[in-house]
């Protein structure tokens, strides 16, 4: 007869708890973390010192590229935050030309990411990718309004099953010099799934269809893939 464990303690259970508590890393960060770890190891081998700073630097770099699991709310007709951060602005402005949308003002929610925020980006709305375009530019501080127009950026346009179009733009910042985007034209995407990464401080703009009802305000914190940014037109 098999013995029972009244305490519920077991090694697999503990391992599962640890894995659940430590967020996975975005693949785009692995080469950077490996480089930091290799540099720390080399410094230790040459000088015989720096073991603790090397471990801390490697851990901090790995934490920067964390991609925590998120669960989208079971609600239809909404647009989710594409990034963790702080809402910088909510305003109506013409969308960037590369999105190929009508040049009329539409609601835009801009989220600023500090170096301490999660830097993966998530799909804000379920649908099909109809455009992806990278634009070179400057590297102004991402908390400036003109960063949306002047900085290097990558734009993705998603069309919902109802024919509504939502644009999401990854914007490089003062320290961010690399934007990764893992989706292509024609891809079917699910709300809340990870699709890209911006290294270091940056900004993410979401352009909403006209008549969308924005549900956040400047200064509010957002959680990518979970916070509701807006309700789409026609939704109660």
> Could you tell me the residue ranges of all domains in the chain?
11-64, 78-231
| Enzyme catalytic residues | 202
The percentage of the chain sitting over the pLDDT mark of 70, rounded to a whole number, equals 70
- Contact, 108 vs 92, CB < 8 A? yes
Residue 136's φ and ψ, nearest 5 degrees, are -70, 160
Mean pLDDT (the chain, rounded): 82
List the single range of 11-25, 32-46, 80-94 with lowest mean pLDDT: 11-25
Q: Check residue 1 and give its pLDDT.
A: 46
**Over the stretch 4-35, which tens digit does the pLDDT of each residue have?**
555 555 666 555 555 555 667 666 666 766 77
175, pLDDT greater than 70 = no
Q: Strand, helix or coil at 54?
A: helix
Class of domain 78-231: mainly beta
Say which residue, 35 or 164, is predicted with more confidence: 164
**Over the stretch 66-82, which tens digit does the pLDDT of each residue have?**
677 888 899 899 999 99
Would you place residue 201 in the very low, low, confident or very high pLDDT band (cuts 50, 70, 90)? low
148, pLDDT greater than 90 = no
Q: Check residue 5 and give its pLDDT.
A: 59
Say which residue, 75 or 118, is predicted with more confidence: 75
| pTM tops 0.85 | no
Helix, strand, coil % in the chain, rounded to nearest 5: 20, 30, 45
How confident is the model over 136-160, as a mean pLDDT?
78
Q: Nearest-CA neighbor of 192 among 43, 93, 84, 56? A: 84
């Amino acid at each position: 007869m098999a013995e029972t464990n009244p305490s519920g303690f077991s090694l697999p259970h503990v391992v599962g708890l640890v894995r659940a508590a430590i967020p996975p890393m975005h693949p785009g960060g692995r080469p950077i973390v490996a480089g930091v770890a290799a540099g720390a190891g080399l410094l230790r081998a040459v000088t015989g010192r720096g073991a603790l700073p090397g471990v801390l630097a490697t851990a901090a770099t790995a934490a920067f590229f964390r991609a925590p699991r998120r669960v989208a709310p079971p609600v239809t007709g909404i647009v989710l935050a594409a990034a963790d951060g702080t809402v910088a602005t909510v305003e109506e402005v013409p969308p960037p030309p590369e999105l190929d949308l009508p040049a009329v003002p539409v609601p835009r929610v801009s989220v600023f990411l500090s170096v301490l925020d999660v830097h993966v980006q998530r799909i804000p709305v379920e649908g099909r990718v109809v455009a992806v375009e990278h634009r070179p530019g400057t590297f102004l501080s991402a908390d400036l309004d003109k960063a949306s127009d002047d900085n290097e950026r990558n734009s993705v346009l998603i069309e919902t099953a109802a024919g509504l179009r939502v644009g999401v733009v990854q914007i490089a910042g003062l320290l961010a010099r690399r934007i990764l985007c893992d989706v292509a034209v024609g891809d079917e995407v699910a709300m809340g799934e990870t699709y890209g990464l911006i290294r270091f401080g940056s900004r993410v703009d979401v352009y909403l269809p006209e008549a969308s009802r924005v549900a956040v305000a400047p200064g509010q914190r957002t959680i990518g893939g979970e916070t509701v940014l807006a309700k789409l037109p026609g939704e109660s």
